[in-house]
Structure 1
Amino acid sequence: MTGLLGGRAVVVTGAGRGLGAAYATDLAAHGASVVVNDIDLTEARAVVERITAAGGAAIASGHDVSVHDGAAALVQSCVDEFGRLDGLVNNAGLYHEALPWEENPAAIRRAVEVNVLGALYCQAAASAVLRAGGGGAIVNASSGGMFGFPTVSTYAATKGALAALTYSSALDLEDAGIRVNAISPMALTRMTANALGRDHQSSTEDGPPLAGIEDKPPAAVAPLVTFLLSDLAAGITGQFLRFDGRRISVVTTDAFADHPTVTAPAWGPAAIATAFDGPLARHLQPYGVERRIAPRIR
């Protein structure tokens, strides 16, 4: 099949519905052969049926990416079916809300298993194949939730982990010709339909971060993933991109800049407090969707 991704094969996890289904569908429309992975195999098969009905190539996978052997088998299924692997979209994820002292240990563990271990296991398996094949691309689905929303600390932590994974893996895989990028998509899905961001308003914006999300379908976000998996994105790696189907932005890190600093020959708690009451006070960072002023200078 011809197209931007003609002759290539891609694995998309969590692709039975929502954003994952949109990614898989758009990738196939641009010529890629796609493994549509979802723990709900019925939904994965439904996406495959839509892709093949439109003339695309796809197979369904019900492998559990939170299990190492499941992730490895998923990647191998792409090689077995299509003879190659050129890209991976780590989209599978679980979302839940809870106050820290009300968290369910089982829910925490499952979120980490799917959101973090799933991405790690899939990357481990995929990178070996991509490296042997001369390169490719990986896209990790992070979230704006990592920047601070109330009652989503577990979810935010797992999505922050994917951003960190992206930065480090981009370094490790660059010489192998493998690009790694993270995205923070904004679209109306079953998860975001009742998410906190629809109600909580940032002090620096005119409305809640997810205001107007009903006008942002997953299909509008999918082209970013297609772009990142294509040769059009050559040279773009280690980036965190936010996209709502209309506005795309690069999330800056500036991790190695000259940060505000105070130096002294020796420190004690009182001297440190003086530093934070003095020159460092104005540099304390705001946190979360509802914050504009840093805590010590509110």
Structure 2
Amino acid sequence: MSAVDGRAIVVTGAGRGLGAAFAADLAGAGAAVVVNDVDAAAADAVAAEIRTAGGCAVADPHTVADPEQAAAIVERCVAEFGAIDGLVNNAGLTYEAMPWEDDPVRARAVVEVNVLGVVYTGLAAIRHMRAAGRGSIVNVSSGAALGQRTIGVYAASKGAVASLTYSWALDLEDSGIRVNAICPKAYTRMVSGSARASRHTPPEHTPDRVAPLVRFLVSDRAAGITGQLVRCTGSELHIVGQPYFKAPILRRESWDVDSVERAFVEVFGAHLEPFGLEKRLPSRLRKWLGPARSA
């Protein structure tokens, strides 16, 4: 018997890519899976493939971006399988644009799916899990949350998912519900059309290589593990560090603009953080270090 055998699990955005791989892997290990995707035909196809392979799955076409429809996804799981033991919040959107060319309509859609979709589906699942005294949620964040060019809104949405994960883990630990997040790196349809895909995501980084991490986190084999952000590229697996308050901490009774400037000139200038996934140095440090050392 596997660690997820007989468990009822919802996977959102499971009509293709990472979600489809997660759903197939979980079902192959004995879980009953709700394959959710707004592309009803894609969800039906994935669920049918799972059943053909001997697994248990139903398709669901609701959108996570609407609170009532998100709740309906969870209720479908409870109605079909009698419970919801796990939730994989995978549904997501992305696009590339420079900030001065960005489209508010597209930005809003990304936030509604990537952030509110996680909130709405998570809240519905949490109510059932809390009543049962157990459950596991795996949210899909991204390394882009550290900062990445041309996808600022997407990066912000995934940073929000990480923060939500940490907060829910704190709130739900005493309820027997674990909440973790993953930062997957995989070549999927969502990224295959972007210039970034060819530069940063080799085709061998396939979704099925990330699936074992999700199965582990959603199962009791990960008992005691909560509030963690885990990055998996298929070949690499590591914990993503949480932001922290960095020393030195300067103290005075009150701060004005002049004293703040002195703090940066005299102290903080030597402690500025490289930023973004490419670890770019702030301009002040680049000027001090020179081109050879700041490259």
Per-residue Cα deviation, 1:109-138 (whole angstroms, up to 9, x for no partner): 111111111100001100000111121100
- Who is 1:260 aligned against? 248
Which residue of structure 1 aligns with residue 139 of structure 2?
A: 140
Contact 1:149 1:197 in 2 (8 A): no
In structure 1, the partner of 2:185 is 186
Structure 2 counterpart of 1:247, from 222, 228, 236? 236
Q: CA contact under 8 A between 1:112 and 1:158: conserved in structure 2?
A: yes
The answer to whether residue 15 in structure 2 is matched with residue 26 in structure 1 is no
Which deviates more from structure 2 when the two are superposed, residues 107-116 or residues 9-18?
107-116
1:258 Cα offset (Å): 5.6
Residue pair 1:261, 1:280 contacting (<8 A) in 2 also:
no
Under a length normalisation based on structure 2, what TM-score does the superposition of the two structures give? 0.93
Quick check: 2:143–2:277 contact (8 Å CA) kept in 1? no
- On the 8 A contact 1:44/1:60 being kept in 2, the answer is yes
Task: Give the match for residue 13 of structure 1.
Answer: 12
The residue that corresponds to 1:279 in the other structure is 267
Partner of 1:78: 77
- RMSD (CA atoms): 1.5
Residue 266 of structure 1 and its aligned partner are, at CA, apart by 3.4
**265-274 vs 82-91, which moves further:** 265-274
Deviation at 1:218, TM superposition (A): 0.5
Note the C-alpha offset of 1:291.
Answer: 3.7
> Residues 143-187 of structure 1: CA distance to partner in whole angstroms, max 9, x if unpaired?
111111111111111111000000000011111100000100011
What is the CA-CA distance between 1:140 and the residue it aligns to? 0.4
Contact 1:87/1:137 (<8 A) preserved: yes
Query: Which secondary structure state, in structure 2, belongs to the residue aligned with residue 215 of structure 1?
Result: coil
- Residues 190-233 of structure 1: CA deviation (Å, up to 9, x unaligned): 1222445456xxxxxxxx6x25x211110011000000011110
Provide the secondary structure at the position in 2 that maps to 1:191.
Answer: helix
Match of 2:292 in 1: none
CA change 1:114–1:169 in 2 (3 A) is same
Determine the structure 2 residue equivalent to 1:150. Answer: 149
Larger deviation, residues 97-106 vs 130-139: 97-106
CA gap of 1:246–1:95, structure 2 versus 1, over 3 A, is: same
| Percent of aligned pairs with the same amino acid | 51
Give the conservation status (yes or no) of the 8 Å contact 2:187–2:197: no
Cα deviation, residue 45, structure 1: 0.6
Q: Is the 8 A contact 1:149 1:196 kept in 2?
A: no
The answer as to 2:214 corresponding to 1:225 is yes
Which residues of structure 2 form unaligned runs of 5+? 287-295
Unmatched segments (≥5 aa) in structure 1: 200-207
Partner residue in 2 for 1:49 = 48
Aligned to 1:204: none
In the aligned structure 2, how far is the partner of 1:79 from the partner of 1:296? 56
The Cα of 1:35 is off from its aligned counterpart by 0.0
TM-score by length of 1: 0.92
- Measure the CA separation in 2 of the matches of 1:150 and 1:292: 11
Q: Which amino acid aligns with 2:210?
A: V
Task: Check whether the contact 1:173–1:179 (CA below 8 A) recurs between aligned residues.
Answer: yes
Q: Give distance in 1, aligned partners of 2:235 and 2:121.
A: 30
Q: Distance in 2 between matches of 1:292 and 1:66?
A: 34
Letter in 2 for 1:231: D
| Residues 54 and 288 of structure 1, relative CA distance in 2, 3 Å threshold | same
CA distance in 2 between counterparts of 1:282 and 1:120 reads: 39
Bigger drift between 264-273 and 57-66 goes to 264-273
How many residues get paired? Answer: 286
Write the distance in 1 (CA, Å) between the matches of 2:5 and 2:80.
16
